[in-house]
Amino acid sequence: MNKSLYHTEVINSDGLNGTASVSDGESLQTSDPLKDLAGFNPEQLFGLSWSTCLNATIEALLKARGAKARSKAEVHVDFCREEDGKGFYFDLKAFISVEGMELADVEKLAQSAHKRCPVSKIIGDYNHVTLEVVPYAE
């Protein structure tokens, strides 16, 4: 195994409605996405993780090309019921934009970033994932 560049541990013993704690001492209130309660749900946390990692990967690719353009990765996560009514899944959509770059070039960059992003690698060939390139807007 390669040497880890960063390690963390997260413990959740309360499920959706309680607290999860991180090894550095921070804690986070968790909540059910179908209830109006304080806290973060898995959909929000996954969206935060993927959008941050995907945009950081895009930024690294832009920097490697000598580009100073700003980029954005907006992720939408929908909690859906399986067609048979017996289970659930996440429908994931990422909207990628890069300031001042032609959409065809952003498409190539987005696909390259998706192949390299560690969170995208976890997603793999998941059936319910879409990457879409959109014009950059503040």
Count of all residues that appear for the chain in the document: 138
DSSP for residue 14: S
pTM for this entry: 0.92
Contact 98, 106 (CB under 8 A): yes
Q: Could you tell me which residues come within 8 angstroms of residue 19 by beta carbon, excluding any fewer than 6 positions away?
A: 12, 27, 28, 29, 30
pLDDT at 22: 93
Q: Which residues pair with 73 in a beta bridge?
A: 96
> 6: exposed, middle or buried (C-beta count within 10 Å: 0-12, 13-18, 19+)?
exposed
pLDDT (tens digit per residue) in 68-99: 999 999 999 999 999 999 999 999 999 999 99
pLDDT (tens digit per residue) in 18-43: 999 999 889 999 999 999 999 999 99
pLDDT at 2: 84
